[in-house]
C-alpha cells in the first residue's frame, strides 16, 4: 500500500485539525483534535473511559479541478472500527485499529462543501484484535445502560482517529501499488543487485517506465534491465535509500502518473543459530515500545517519534519491536532513514483466555482456541501489515503475535496457517516469529517450531523469583539451555525483560524492588546470562518508556518498566545500558 505523497500528478489535502465530536446518545457537541486519542482530550472520568460508538465530523471543500480526478479519502488508522459517511451516504467500513485504509469517494462528493462523518467504535471482544472482554450492563427492563471492555492486555485501550486523515487526489489512471524485491550478488568484493519491481495499475494504461535513483538523485538503472552495480547496502544505523521512480504513460506518450518509492537494499537470513543482515551476524539491542505519549495517547506524535529515535541513538540501541501492533507509517519511514532494525508485529495481543493479570482469584480455566474467534481478524491484519510494510528495509522480521496461549491444545493448528500466510505474502522472505510468554516455557510451547527465531518474554527476578536474583539467574539459564537443546539451529533472543521502577525511588539495599538501584542489578543479572550463550542474538527490554495501562493494583498510573519515564527522561538504568550497548558492536 502506497504512502500518501504529493507528486507531479498527485496532491494531498490534509484533513487533520479540530473536528466536531459526539458520544452516542449524547446531543452535546465537543471539539476534538485529529489525529489523537479521544480519551485524554477530556477531563471527566466517564468520558475518558467511555466505551461504545462516537462520531467525528467535519466539512471539506471539493474544487472544480478535482472532479476530473480520482478522489480518495485515506485514514492512517482508526481504533478500532470505522464506518465512513460522505454527505450522509455510507461509503465504507474498516475493522482493525492500526493499519491504513482508503476509499475512492469521487462518486460521493459534490462541487463545493461536503460533509464527512466517521462513526468510530472502541469496542473489543473475542473476535477482535486486540482481544477484549466485552460486557453490556442492562437495567431491569433489558436496556443497555453501560458498555464495558476489560482489556485482555496490559496497556490502555486508547481509541479514536489516531493517524492522519487525507484527501489524496490522483489521476483517473494511476499507480495502485509497488512491490520491490531484489537479488544481491557479491562480485570482486563489490555488491551488485538485480531489482524487480511489480506495479499494479488502476485503469487501462500499461506503459510503465521505471528509473532507479541514488541518494544524490543520480540515475543508476532504468528500463527493463534494473541492475545496480556497486550497491551501497542499507546497514543497521547506516541507512542508504534508493528511489524507484515509477511513471505511467498514456497512448500519446504523455505522463499520467508518477510515484517515487524509497527502498533500501539489504539481505536477511537466519542460519546456524545466527541472524544475518547482509551476511553478517547481527545482535539486537533495543526495546519493546508503545505508541504512548501525554495528551496524544496513541495518536500520531511526530515530535515524540523524533525524540524516541534520538534517545535510542543516545543509548546505543539499534532496533525495536512494534509491540503490540503496527506502528505509524511515519515511524516506519523514520526507521528506514535512521537505520533502525524493526521487528514488525501484528495486533494479535490478548490471545489468552486465562490472562495472567487476572486478579479475581478464579481458578476456572478455559481453552483459548475453543473460546476466541479471532482467525478472520488475524488473517486480515497479517495481509494489511505486509501490504503496507513490504518495501521497508528496516523491517527484518514479522512477529505474528505477542504472548498467545501457545501451550494450550489447538495453538499449533491456529498458528500454522497464519505463519504460512505471512511467508506466502512476503516476497522478501523475511523470517517469522512470535513473542513467547513465560506460561509456555521450553518443552510446553506448541508453536515455537514454526518460528525462525525463538523470541522470549521473560521476567525472572520480577514476576518469578522476585528480588532473588541468584535463583532467577539460575532458573533463566536452565530454561535457555533447554530451548537450545530443543531447537539447536534456531537463534534465541529476549523481546521482553524488565522490572517496574519508580523514577526517583532509591534504597541503600539494592535488592529493594521498584528502586532504580534494583532495576540496574536486575539488568546486570540478565546480561550475565546473555553474554555466556553464543546462540543468544539480542536483548530488547520492556519497556522503552513508562506507559499508561488500565487500573489495577499492579499499576500505579501505568506500567513503570520503562528505561525512560513517560516524558522520555532517563532512569539510572539508562546510563548503565548506554555504557553496555555502546560497547557491543552491531555485528559480532
Q: Please answer whether residues 156 and 39 qualify as being in contact, where contact means their C-beta atoms are separated by less than 8 angstroms.
A: yes
The yes-or-no answer on residue 24 being catalytic is: no
Rounded-to-integer distance, Cα 318 and Cα 325, Å: 20
Rounded-to-integer distance, Cα 561 and Cα 458, Å: 13
DSSP string for residues in 23-50: ETT----EEEEESS-SGGG--SHHHHT-
Find all residues with CB under 8 Å of 475, minimum gap 6, and list them: 460, 464, 465
Closest to 322 (Cα-Cα) out of 330, 314, 338:
330
pTM attached to this predicted model? 0.96
Percent pLDDT > 90 in the chain is 91
Q: Average pLDDT, stretch 284-308?
A: 98
Q: Please answer whether residues 523 and 285 qualify as being in contact, where contact means their C-beta atoms are separated by less than 8 angstroms.
A: no
Rounded-to-integer distance, Cα 524 and Cα 437, Å: 22
Residue 363 is predicted with a pLDDT of: 52
Rounded-to-integer distance, Cα 136 and Cα 431, Å: 41
Residue 219 is predicted with a pLDDT of: 98
Rounded-to-integer distance, Cα 223 and Cα 225, Å: 6
User: 192-206, pLDDT tens digit by residue?
Assistant: 999 999 999 999 999
* Residue 279: pLDDT over 50: yes
The grid coordinates listed for 432 are 517469522
Q: Average pLDDT, stretch 67-80?
A: 98
Q: How many CB atoms are closer than 10 A to CB 300?
A: 24
* Residue 356: pLDDT over 70: no
Rounded-to-integer distance, Cα 34 and Cα 18, Å: 6
Rounded-to-5 percentages of helix, strand, coil across the chain? 20, 35, 45
Closest to 297 (Cα-Cα) out of 561, 583, 588, 48:
48
The catalytically annotated residue of 473, 496, 521, 539 is: 496
* Alpha carbon 173 to its chain's center: 32
The catalytically annotated residue of 261, 384, 403, 539 is: 403
Which domains, and CATH codes, for the chain? 17-122+157-163 (2.60.120.260), 174-263 (2.60.40.10), 268-357+366-581 (3.20.20.80)
Residue 252 is predicted with a pLDDT of: 95
Q: pLDDT grade, residue 552 (50/70/90)? A: confident
Q: pLDDT grade, residue 358 (50/70/90)? A: very low
- DSSP, res 532: T
Rounded-to-integer distance, Cα 221 and Cα 273, Å: 36
* Residue 467: pLDDT over 50: yes
Percent pLDDT > 70 in the chain is 98
User: 115-140, pLDDT tens digit by residue?
Assistant: 999 999 999 999 999 999 999 888 88
Residue 58 is predicted with a pLDDT of: 99
> pLDDT averaged over the chain?
96
Q: What is the largest CA-CA distance in the chain?
A: 81
Q: Please answer whether residues 516 and 572 qualify as being in contact, where contact means their C-beta atoms are separated by less than 8 angstroms.
A: yes
Q: pLDDT grade, residue 364 (50/70/90)? A: low
Q: Which long-range contacts (CB under 8 A, 24 or more apart) does 568-575 make?
A: 568/304, 568/307, 568/308, 568/311, 569/503, 570/311, 570/315, 571/501, 571/503, 571/516, 571/519, 572/516, 572/517, 572/519, 572/520, 573/501, 573/516, 573/519, 573/520, 573/523, 574/315
User: 553-585, pLDDT tens digit by residue?
Assistant: 778 889 999 999 999 999 999 999 999 999 999
Residue 355 is predicted with a pLDDT of: 66
Closest to 340 (Cα-Cα) out of 322, 360, 367:
322
Q: How many CB atoms are closer than 10 A to CB 63?
A: 11
Residue 83 is predicted with a pLDDT of: 99
Q: pLDDT grade, residue 145 (50/70/90)? A: confident
Rounded-to-integer distance, Cα 237 and Cα 319, Å: 9
* Residue 227: pLDDT over 70: yes
Rounded-to-integer distance, Cα 458 and Cα 548, Å: 21
Q: Which has more confidence, 252 or 138?
A: 252
The yes-or-no answer on residue 496 being catalytic is: yes
Q: Which has more confidence, 361 or 260?
A: 260
Amino acid at each position: 500500500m502506497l504512502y500518501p505523497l504529493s507528486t507531479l500528478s498527485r496532491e494531498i489535502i490534509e484533513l487533520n485539525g479540530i473536528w466536531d465530536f459526539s458520544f452516542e446518545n449524547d446531543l452535546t457537541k465537543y471539539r476534538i483534535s485529529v489525529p489523537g486519542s479521544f480519551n485524554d482530550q477530556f477531563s471527566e472520568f466517564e468520558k475518558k473511559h467511555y466505551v461504545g460508538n462516537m462520531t467525528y465530523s467535519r466539512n471539506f471543500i471539493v474544487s472544480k479541478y478535482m472532479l476530473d480526478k480520482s478522489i480518495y479519502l485515506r485514514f492512517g488508522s482508526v481504533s478500532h472500527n470505522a464506518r465512513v459517511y460522505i454527505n450522509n451516504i455510507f461509503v465504507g467500513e474498516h475493522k482493525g485499529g492500526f493499519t491504513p485504509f482508503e476509499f475512492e469517494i469521487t462518486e460521493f462528493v459534490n462541487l463545493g462543501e461536503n460533509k464527512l462523518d466517521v462513526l468510530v467504535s472502541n469496542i473489543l471482544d473475542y473476535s477482535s484484535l486486540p482481544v477484549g472482554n466485552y460486557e453490556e450492563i442492562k437495567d431491569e427492563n433489558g436496556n443497555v445502560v453501560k458498555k464495558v471492555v476489560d482489556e485482555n492486555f496490559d496497556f490502555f485501550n486508547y481509541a479514536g482517529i489516531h493517524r492522519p486523515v487525507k484527501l489524496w487526489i490522483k489521476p483517473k489512471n494511476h499507480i495502485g501499488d509497488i512491490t520491490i524485491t531484489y537479488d544481491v550478488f557479491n562480485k570482486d568484493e563489490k555488491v551488485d543487485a538485480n531489482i524487480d519491481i511489480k506495479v499494479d495499475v488502476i485503469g487501462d494504461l500499461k506503459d510503465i517506465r521505471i528509473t532507479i535513483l541514488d541518494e544524490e538523485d543520480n540515475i543508476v538503472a532504468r528500463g527493463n534491465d534494473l541492475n545496480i552495480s556497486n550497491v551501497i547496502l542499507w546497514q543497521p544505523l547506516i541507512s542508504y535509500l534508493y528511489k524507484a521512480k515509477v511513471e505511467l504513460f498514456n497512448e500519446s506518450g504523455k505522463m499520467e502518473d508518477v510515484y517515487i518509492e524509497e527502498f533500501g537494499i539489504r539481505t536477511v537470513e537466519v542460519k546456524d543459530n545466527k541472524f544475518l543482515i547482509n551476511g553478517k551476524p547481527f545482535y539486537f539491542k533495543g526495546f519493546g515500545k508503545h505508541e504512548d505519549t501525554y495528551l496524544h495517547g496513541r495518536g500520531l506524535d511526530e515530535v515524540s517519534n523524533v525524540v524516541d529515535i534520538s534517545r535510542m541513538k543516545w543509548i546505543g540501541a539499534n532496533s525495536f519491536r512494534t509491540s503490540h501492533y503496527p506502528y505509524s507509517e511515519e515511524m516506519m519511514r523514520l526507521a528506514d532513514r535512521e537505520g533502525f532494525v524493526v521487528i514488525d508485529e501484528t495486533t494479535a495481543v490478548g490471545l489468552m483466555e486465562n490472562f495472567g493479570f487476572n486478579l479475581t482469584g478464579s481458578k476456572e480455566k478455559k481453552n483459548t482456541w475453543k473460546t476466541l474467534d479471532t482467525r478472520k481478524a488475524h488473517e486480515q491484519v497479517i495481509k494489511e501489515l505486509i501490504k503496507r510494510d513490504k518495501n521497508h528495509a528496516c523491517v527484518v522480521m514479522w512477529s505474528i503475535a505477542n504472548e498467545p496461549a501457545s501451550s494450550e491444545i489447538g495453538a499449533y493448528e491456529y498458528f500454522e496457517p497464519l505463519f504460512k500466510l505471512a511467508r506466502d505474502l512476503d516476497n522478501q522472505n523475511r523470517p517469522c516469529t512470535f513473542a513467547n510468554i513465560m506460561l509456555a516455557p521450553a518443552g510446553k510451547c506448541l508453536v515455537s517450531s514454526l518460528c525462525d527465531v525463538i523470541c522470549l518474554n521473560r521476567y525472572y527476578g520480577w514476576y518469578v523469583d522476585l528480588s532473588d536474583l541468584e535463583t532467577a539467574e539460575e532458573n533463566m539459564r536452565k530454561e535457555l539451555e533447554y530451548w537450545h537443546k530443543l531447537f539447536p539451529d534456531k537463534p534465541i533472543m529476549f523481546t521482553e525483560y524488565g522490572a517496574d521502577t519508580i523514577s526517583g525511588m532509591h534504597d541503600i539495599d539494592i535488592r529493594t524492588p521498584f528502586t532504580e538501584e534494583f532495576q540496574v542489578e536486575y539488568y546486570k543479572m540478565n546480561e550475565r546470562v546473555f553474554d555466556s550463550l553464543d546462540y543468544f542474538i539480542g536483548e530488547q527490554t520492556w519497556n522503552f518508556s513508562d506507559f499508561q495501562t488500565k487500573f489495577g493494583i499492579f499499576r500505579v498510573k501505568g506500567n513503570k518498566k520503562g528505561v525512560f519515564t513517560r516524558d522520555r527522561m532517563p532512569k539510572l538504568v539508562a546510563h548503565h545500558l548506554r555504557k553496555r550497548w555502546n560497547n557491543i558492536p552491531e555485528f559480532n
